[in-house]
Chains A and B, each alone.
Chain A
Amino acid sequence: MHSMRAMLPVIVVHGGAGHIPKERAELSCAGVKEAARGGYGILRAGGSAMDAVVETVTILENNPAYNAGRGSALNVKGGVEMDAIVMDGRTLASGAVSAVRRVANPVQLARLVMDKTNHLCLTAEGASQFARAMGIPEVPEESLITDYARMRWKKNLAPDANPVECQMGKMGTVGAVAVDAEGNIACATSTGGMINQMEGRVGDTPCIGCGGYADNKTGAVSPTGHGEAIMKVTLSRLILFHMEQGRSAEEASDLGLAYMKERVQGLGGVVTVDPKGVWAARFSSLQMAWAAVQSEQLHYGLYVGEHFTESAHEPS
């Protein structure tokens, strides 16, 4: 076993659960490894867990391989509406935005909601107004849309489309959980939502306890998967309840995911961490791109049972 000192800091990252087409698997893996390294760099330099998860999710939002920020899924009208959340385990403070348009990094806007307002969540036009007030530049919607997202959207509009198959191809919500050297815990999650979702659809991501939860006393969770199912079981909070009852991060994650599958037939995945730095990346879907950095070691995987390790300092 690692000593306590070696267990912290730690960061665990996911790039979405679902079925990732073969030609995109490598991109998904490379992206989460890069993001985990980025977040760990902040932690190792003495940065806070909150700074680390926001930086990590920002890297993933900027990477067009994921359904968040640039690369977001398109709604039924071909537009981009994004959801994001951050939570600080020290104070239980949280910030979220839902159905926000034309910002490059919704996770950074969510953090500003937490830091600069008396509220926890701002939605749609109100979130845009706040972004303008904070001096966040508005980006053209086109800059968030990739050819891949547009191809998926068009395919799904076709009369013979199989929405389930199309949906499974890209569920890539992104998220991160971290514990810093001082034992503070944070989580962040960001998504472009479901392909061809209705205008104004809000999924689990910006809903506290569903799309993320962090508490210094218990741990943190960031989930991905079928949003409506995650909401029905308030997945993040559920997993932390199990940890409060003495379950390990891995046991609690598996219990939460199994319950979601049995009770509401929903698949997904989570990254989970406890205050000591014990972490888990678990999923009930076919795949989930994940990566973790702890004690200068980078861990990563994509399929069930996969767990590769390499030095955190090697270029990927």
Chain B
Amino acid sequence: MKPVIVVHGGAWAIPDELSNASIEGVKAAACAGFAVLKKGVSALDAVEAAVRALEDNPVFDSGHGAVQNTAGEVELDAMIMDGSTLASGAVSSVRNIANPVTLARAVMEQTDHSMLTDRGANLFAERVGLPTVPTDTLVTEAERRAWQSQKNYAAGVKELFNKQWVHDTVGAVALDSNGNVACATSTGGIRHKMVGRVGDSPIIGSGGYADNQSGAVSCTGHGESILKVTLARLILFHVEQGKAAPEAVEKALQYMGERVQGGGGAIAVCPSGEWAAKFTTERMAWACVDGEALHYGLNPREDFKETL
């Protein structure tokens, strides 16, 4: 089985000044994940490694670089899912954790539960020895400025602003050489979100889903819309009905646009090795390593290729 990894850095109107850094970031994360797969390690390890690389990169809204909620705090959501067992782990509204995806994996592997939230998630992080980091270190100077400037908008304008400037989610899906698939998704959410707002990212079937029998998906975009259509599970449902991965993703995104007027993007990989990276927003930074080549793109219908 030829291993494959696909990553995304969020579907939104990525401004030109962030284009290069976003592309470089997803390429590096895809390569980090693929290095794990090449060693013969599991898809689960690969998606965790790739998402950690994206969380550590301040360009993306997850881990370092996360957006601040209405109270100026950072609350992070993440999930990970193992397609071989359908086991998953998630954390929502966790604070002061540099790599929420690793905490989500600990929830999956070291508890009887699938999801921990808020203070309970932080207490668990302490128990498993995951270090806490000061909120200040997670927030970039650019985020501080953006938060401040949007704070002064009237509520109605802010709503519009939020929709156009969703600074979004990261994620990864992988297929390993044993035919196992996995997904992981991590986010800081939406700037000026209410305290305690949970988006799609940590919700199984919405922010991600992985099943060895159909494939793995990680979603990004307008979280509330993704939740309404349980986007990840919907995409895999289309795959189960015989659709190819790119077609399944396109069909589900189109449905989300028509039914609930939501924009977004998704990456998918199937047990056959077939993969997809599609979006209905202006841009989505994505990258894929499928053995011989590194694929990547930012604008609609782009698929640049570099030989490794």
Contacts and interface: CB of A to CB of B under 8 A. Distances in A.
B218 to A, nearest CB: 15
Interface stretch (B57-65, B135-143, B188-196, B268-276): B188-196
A129 B195 contact: yes
A173 interface: no
Contact of A202 (B87, B92, B159, B199): B92
Given A98-B117, A208-B203, A228 B112 contact: yes
A91 to B, nearest CB: 8
Interface in A88-104: 91-94, 96, 98-99
Contacts, number: 151
Q: Is the interface of A mostly helix, strand, loop or mixed?
A: mixed
B155 to A, nearest CB: 10
Interface residues on B, range: 35 or more
Contacts of B228: 92-94, 120, 208
B206 A232 contact: no
A201 B233 contact: no
B92 A228 contact: no
Interface stretch (A184-192, A233-241, A250-258, A277-285): A233-241
A124 interface: yes
B89 to A, nearest CB: 10
A91 B259 CA distance: 8
A292 to B, nearest CB: 26
A126 B71 CA distance: 11
A24 interface: no
B198 interface: yes
A124 B117 contact: yes
Interface residues of A, number: 44
Nearest to A228: B114
A200 B124 contact: yes
Chain B CB within 10 Å, residue with most, of A91, A198, A238: A198
Contacts of B117: 98-99, 123-124, 200-202
25 contacts: A91-B260, A94-B228, A98-B117, A99-B118, A99-B120, A119-B194, A119-B197, A119-B199, A121-B198, A122-B194, A122-B196, A124-B118, A125-B119, A125-B196, A126-B197, A198-B116, A199-B119, A199-B120, A200-B120, A200-B124, A202-B92, A228-B113, A234-B205, A237-B234, A263-B86
Interface of A: 81, 91-94, 96, 98-99, 117-127, 129-130, 197-203, 207-210, 213, 227-228, 231-234, 237-238, 241, 263-264
